[in-house]
Amino acid sequence: MSAIFKDDATGQQIRAAWWSSRLAIYGALILWAFVCLFPIYWTLTTSFKLAPDVMRGNMIPFMDYTPKWKGWESLGLSPRLIGDVSTVREEFLKRFWNSTIIALSASTLAVVLGSLAAYGLSRFSYRFGFMKNSDISFFFLSQMILPPVVLALPFLVLYRSLDLLDSRIGLILLYTLMVLPIVIWIMRDQFQGIPVELEEAALVDGLGIWGAFLQIVLPIALPGMVAAFILSLVLCWNEYFFAALLSSTNATTLPVMVASQTGSQGINWWSMAALSSAAILPLITVAIFLEKYIVEGMAAGAVK
Amino acid sequence: MSTEGDLLHAVTADDISGMRKRLGRAVVWGTGLLVLALATLQFSHEIGRIAFGFDTWRPVLYAYLLWATALCFAQVIVNGEKGKRALFVLPAALFVISLVVFPLLFALYISFTDWNLASLNGAQPNGWDNMRQMWADAFYWNALKNMVYYVAAISVEYVIAFGLALLLNAQIRARKFFRVVFLLPLMLSPVAVSWMIGKSMLEVRFGPVSRLVREMGFEPSFFGTPEMARFMIMAMDAWTFIPFMMIMLLAGLQALPREVIEASKVDGASGWQSFKEVIFPLMLPVSVTAVVIRIIFKLKLADIIINVTSGGPGGATDSVTSFIFREYRDRSNVGYGTLLAMVYLVLIIIFITALLKLVSRWMERPA
């Protein structure tokens, strides 16, 4: 019968419907991929353009225009200048280094503090005064709604009297505070997924509660910790508000440097593009290679 | 999910000598008194009572850290096994309390002073003056009104994010590639985005978007009129944060029970029907979580506005945070700015609490 070959009228109709739905799905996917990628493509290519290329609106390197290192030279990062001493590069590397140290230490601190707290809250029952476990959890998570602007000015004054203004330590503490609720949220979910029997067995075998936590639970929860760490890293690396208020010369991070350049000297397209590219490239690399963990971390809170 | 009750229950035989208990208490009180003594000393030095003192409050901070460490150790010394459990939560709790509660109390004090960093005579309490000034400040109310618009824009973001999550959940090739690409905007710092899109792609003369608009026969002006400028800010913010909601919704879609959807197909539901009757209702809890978290993030919106429009034209794009940022940056008005921030905090708490109450009643389950 022709029904086997599916080339009668109804069969063809179904096939046409299937093809058009495929077309719509891939069309939408490619359209949105274009929306996501074009600004990044534009920034990367602009960093290799000269003024006339920008004005003529050339888009495709090697076809429309010849790429030049001018933008990267303004950061002291081009094949020609890489060997020389360059004050701009020093400046840029200092900011880059600040960003790296601050983001890494704040995330580490937050993951350590947050994991401990999340583990305790998911295993034992506490009473601090009138606060029970659910109240303590709520206390931690409620920090998420605290807008940074409320803390900014008191911290400015506080840090000034503590001599922490414009120091990395000051920013690290604040960033840790900022990401701690998110870490606790993710990690609580992780620990609740680990059966208590594992620790009970460890306790029977003679480990203390800290021993059981460090030797049994922690290795199992490691993927979750990595996810929490990377999410914190992204948030800390991109933070601008506190950095702009609380740092001036020594501890300024990359976002502050990018922002300060946009204000002055009109717009110097190629150098701005190079600077922006340098600021976003580390995280783009992270996203491409560690996408699994980022997705895992964000999914952890969503699906209970 | 139960957070109450001892999940990991262990019977411990602690017998702690009175000596050990006294030692633990002595350590806490000793270091605590040291903090107090140093703080008093420094305070009287600052107000000029005594000449001896330190240049900064740093030593008090060190003493405080010492006290915090002593408190943690004393838990074990005094309570034994029970103290070791408290040690899990105590560091984080101390950290948050010292970094949130003290500054908030301090902020409450500042917000009722006329403190301007540019003036020399420091903070003078001025009663309700700041409150009256706020009441008459049209720009602050305007910023609050803008926040309503910005939060309302989340509904559109939600629809787009849900669509993208459905697309990624469909039977497609190169799913991983698309997932990575869709995630990328979330990785970019808002400051970089405000240059990449706000200042270069939307630049009126040479930006590629302006070129496209001109090709289509319009005159590009993205930040000229208030409505247009506000829309552009919303669009840029949406561009960075849509992946966030998308990932959460995608996780929800992947956790849906397959059988239910297949059953609806067997019953003859069309694609749209099975979405409306089965998928969407099942996704409601995840959707609510995603939207609530997105609202929380949206209420902090500032970086893009500060860097692209700095509130202009005429305050049309100002968010509360960017408005207070300029109040401080341009006018050094610490007292007034802090009051505005505190009022904002109170409004946020009321709003979020009401929202959560409403949601949990609507979904008829405890949030």
Does A42 lie at the interface with B, CB-CB under 8 angstroms? yes
Residue among A116, A128, A237 minimizing CB distance to B189: A237
Task: Give the closest-approach CA distance of A98 to chain B in angstroms.
Answer: 16
Q: Do residues B263 and B347 share a domain?
A: no
Q: Domain for residue B196, yes or no?
A: yes
Q: Domain for residue B26, yes or no?
A: yes
CB contact under 8 A, A291 and B296: no
Q: Is pLDDT at B131 greater than 60 in this prediction?
A: yes
pLDDT of residue B216: 86
Is the Cα dihedral B106, B109, B115, B120 positive or negative?
negative
Q: Which residues of B touch A117 (CB under 8 A)?
A: 88-89, 91-93
Q: What percent of chain B has pLDDT over 70?
A: 95
Q: Do residues B123 and B207 share a domain?
A: no
pLDDT of residue A264: 47
Instruction: Transcribe B116-140 into DSSP letters.
Output: -TTSSS---B-TTHHHHHHHH-HHH
Q: Do residues B276 and B317 share a domain?
A: no
Residue ranges per domain, chain A? 2-73, 87-302
Rounded to an integer, what distance in angstroms lies between the CA atom of residue A91 and that of residue A261?
13
Q: What percent of chain B has pLDDT over 90?
A: 20
Over residues B108-137, the mean pLDDT reads 80
Q: Domain for residue B147, yes or no?
A: no
Q: Do residues B84 and B29 share a domain?
A: yes
Q: Do residues B54 and B167 share a domain?
A: no
Q: Domain for residue B4, yes or no?
A: no
- Cβ atoms A124, A210 nearer than 8 A: no
Q: Which CATH class is domain A87-302?
A: mainly alpha
Q: Do residues B201 and B277 share a domain?
A: yes
Assign B112 a pLDDT band (cuts: 50, 70, 90): confident
Q: Domain for residue B12, yes or no?
A: no
Task: Give the A window 118-177 contacts with B, CB below 8 Å.
Answer: 119-126, 128, 132-134, 136-137, 139-140, 143-158, 161-163, 173-174, 176-177
Please provide the average confidence, as pLDDT, over all residues in chain B: 85
Provide the domain limits for residue B124. Answer: 114-140+299-367
Does B290 lie at the interface with A, CB-CB under 8 angstroms? yes
With H, G, I as helix, E, B as strand and everything else as coil, classify residue B250.
helix
pLDDT of residue B367: 42
Tally of domains within chain B: 3
CB contact under 8 A, A150 and B249: no
Question: pLDDT tens digits, residue range A147-156?
Answer: 888 888 888 8
Q: Do residues B269 and B316 share a domain?
A: no
Assign B161 a pLDDT band (cuts: 50, 70, 90): very high
Please report, in tens digits, the pLDDT of each residue of chain A (304 residues total): 445 666 677 778 888 888 888 899 999 999 999 999 999 998 888 888 887 777 777 777 777 777 888 778 877 777 777 777 777 888 888 899 999 999 999 999 999 999 999 998 888 888 777 788 888 888 888 888 888 888 888 888 888 888 888 888 989 999 999 999 999 988 988 888 888 888 888 888 888 888 888 988 999 888 889 989 998 999 999 998 888 888 888 888 888 888 887 654 555 778 888 888 988 999 999 888 888 888 888 777 666 5
pLDDT of residue B51: 73
Task: Give the A window 219-238 contacts with B, CB below 8 Å.
Answer: 234, 237-238
pLDDT of residue B151: 93
CB contact under 8 A, B183 and A133: no
Task: Give the A window 237-256 contacts with B, CB below 8 Å.
Answer: 237-238, 240-241, 244-245, 254-256
CB contact under 8 A, A155 and B104: no
- Cβ atoms B252, B286 nearer than 8 A: yes
Task: Give the B window 251-270 contacts with A, CB below 8 Å.
Answer: 251-252, 255
Q: Which residues of A touch B92 (CB under 8 A)?
A: 113-114, 116-117, 140, 180, 184
Assign B265 a pLDDT band (cuts: 50, 70, 90): confident
pLDDT of residue A35: 92
Is the Cα dihedral A214, A220, A122, A116 positive or negative?
positive
Give chain A's length: 304
Which chain B residue is nearest to residue A255, measuring alpha carbons?
B191
Over residues B67-79, the mean pLDDT reads 86
**Count of A–B CB contacts within 8 Å?**
309
**Residues forming a β-bridge with A128:** A131
pLDDT of residue A177: 93
Q: Do residues B287 and B318 share a domain?
A: no
Is the Cα dihedral A22, A25, A28, A31 positive or negative?
negative
CB contact under 8 A, B321 and A148: yes
Q: How far is CA B168 from CA A18, B182, B243, B251, in A?
A: 17, 10, 12, 11
pLDDT of residue B365: 54
pLDDT of residue B366: 46
Q: What's the farthest any 2 CA atoms get from each other in chain B?
A: 87
Does A72 lie at the interface with B, CB-CB under 8 angstroms? no
Q: Is pLDDT at B113 greater than 70 in this prediction?
A: yes
pLDDT of residue A6: 62
pLDDT of residue A71: 79
Q: Do residues B60 and B128 share a domain?
A: no
* Long-range contacts from B64-67, C-beta under 8 angstroms, 24+ separation: B64/B35, B64/B98, B66/B31, B66/B34, B66/B35, B67/B28, B67/B31, B67/B32, B67/B34, B67/B35
**Cα–Cα nearest to A227, from A179, A141, A295, A140:** A295
Q: Do residues B122 and B168 share a domain?
A: no
Q: Do residues B290 and B307 share a domain?
A: no
Does A193 lie at the interface with B, CB-CB under 8 angstroms? no
Burial of B310 (0-12, 13-18, 19+ CB in 10 A): middle
Rounded to an integer, what distance in angstroms lies between the CA atom of residue B86 and that of residue B80?
10
pLDDT of residue B200: 83
Complex prediction ipTM? 0.87
Q: Is pLDDT at B154 greater than 80 in this prediction?
A: yes
Residue among A28, A139, A240 minimizing CB distance to B191: A240
Does A114 lie at the interface with B, CB-CB under 8 angstroms? yes
Q: Do residues B208 and B95 share a domain?
A: no
| Distance, first Cα to last Cα, chain A | 50
Q: Which of B245, B276, B298 finishes a domain?
A: B298
Question: pLDDT tens digits, residue range B2-57?
Answer: 444 566 766 666 677 788 888 888 888 888 888 888 888 888 887 777 777 777 78
Assign B160 a pLDDT band (cuts: 50, 70, 90): very high
Q: Domain for residue B5, yes or no?
A: no
Task: Give the B window 12-71 contacts with A, CB below 8 Å.
Answer: 55-58, 61
Rounded to an integer, what distance in angstroms lies between the CA atom of residue B224 and that of residue B222?
6
Which residues contact residue B53 at a Cβ distance below 8 angstroms, ignoring those fewer than 6 apart? B41, B42, B44, B45, B46
Task: Give the closest-approach CA distance of B307 to chain A in angstroms.
Answer: 7
CB contact under 8 A, A153 and B92: no
Q: Domain for residue B70, yes or no?
A: yes
**Residues forming a β-bridge with B49:** none
